[in-house]
Amino acid sequence: MSTIQPIAVPDEQHPDVALVQRVRAGDIAAYDTLVRKYERQIFRIAQHITQNREDAEDVMQDAFLKAYEKLDQFQGNSKFYTWLVRIAVNESLMRLRKRRTGKLVSMDEDVTTDEGSVPRDFADWAPNPEQNYTQAELADILRKTIQGLPQGFRVVFVLRDVEGLSTEETAETLGLSVPAVKSRLLRARLQLRERLTRYFGRRAPAIAQAAAAPGGDGAEA
């Protein structure tokens, strides 16, 4: 029987670390690589928070510029990507605040409600229900569905489930506790599921027809 080996923690460096070091040494081409790597994600996150194309474009540019200018402050104890996301989230919230003429915008907005935390619709979905829609229709459904979530839930869902941050990274990025992230994630997932069931549930076509008919009683469902 072999002896217990100490758990090897290989000092494996994330590829971004070397790129960040090169940028710090003045190599702008290395930053070009980092921007290309993450620009789509940063744009998506900004668009999810601001819900506005123009703002998302501005946030994306400002976030990358700010990250570049503040790269010396990047400690390296979190991933470059997580650090960048945090900048983008803050920039997005600032942008929202401007639009709402200074009204405070925070991650705690609208999260006091318990709405949607208990499943009510148990209709099963058709297999691969997304195939019943064109790409454009599906994108439209998903946009409408996620836009209906309270901001504080939406951002947690996007960072954790769409962009693949861990629960801890999401908490760190948003300045929330891990239990808060978990609770919001569960409620976000359940609310999105509930809303998508309207489109993807097996009896969805009947509801859609009732909703489309004038005076149909499916309209307020």
Partner 1 sequence: MTCTEFLKILDDVIDESIAVETRTEIEAHLRKCGHCEVVLNTTRKTIEIFRCHEIYEVPTEVSERLHASIMDKCKKAK
Residue closest to 173 by CA, chosen among 54, 18, 11, 41: 41
Residue 78, judged by CB atoms within 10 A of its CB (0-12, 13-18, 19+), counts as middle
Closer by beta carbon to partner 1, 12 or else 69: 69
Residue pair 188/157 in contact (Cβ under 8 Å)? The answer is yes
Kindly state the smallest distance separating residue 148's Cβ from partner 1, in Å. Answer: 13
Give CA–CA dist 148/203, Å, rounded.
22
Options 37, 79, 99, 189; binder of partner 1; rule CB under 8 A? 189
48, 146 in Cβ contact below 8 A? yes
CB of 213 to partner 1, least distance (A): 27
Only one of the segments 42-50, 89-97, 171-179, 203-211 lies at the binding site for partner 1 (rule: CB under 8 A); that segment is 42-50
3-state secondary structure (DSSP) of residue 159: helix
How far CA 49 is from CA of 7, 38, 160, in Å, comes to 41, 17, 14
Instruction: Give how many residues touch partner 1 by CB under 8 A.
Output: 46
Looking at 4-12, 14-22, 102-110, 139-147, which segment touches partner 1 (CB under 8 A)?
139-147
C-beta separation of 220 from 207 below 8 A: no
> Residue 56, interface with partner 1 (CB under 8 A)?
yes
In this structure, what is the dihedral angle of CA atoms 68, 69, 73, 74, given to the nearest 10 degrees?
Answer: -10
- Which of 21, 22, 37, 44 is the binder for partner 1 (CB under 8 A)? 44
Which residues between 20 and 39 bind partner 1 (CB under 8 A)? 28, 31-32, 35-36, 39
Beta bridge partners of 201: 125
How many residues can be counted in the chain? Answer: 221
Residue nearer to partner 1 on the CB measure, 142 or 216:
142
Q: Please tell me whether residue 64 binds partner 1 under the rule CB under 8 A.
A: yes
One-letter amino acid for residue 217 of the chain: D
- Candidates 37, 78, 99, 138; binder of partner 1 (CB under 8 A) is 138
> How buried is residue 114: exposed, middle or buried, by Cβ count under 10 Å (0-12/13-18/19+)?
exposed
130 binds partner 1 (CB under 8 A): yes
CB of 163 to partner 1, least distance (A): 9
Rule CB under 8 A: is residue 178 a binding residue for partner 1? no
Provide the binding-site residues for partner 1, judged by CB under 8 A.
28, 31-32, 35-36, 39-40, 43-44, 47-48, 56-57, 60-61, 64-65, 68-69, 118-119, 122-125, 129-130, 135, 138-139, 142-143, 146, 157, 161-162, 182, 185-186, 189-190, 192-193, 196-197, 200
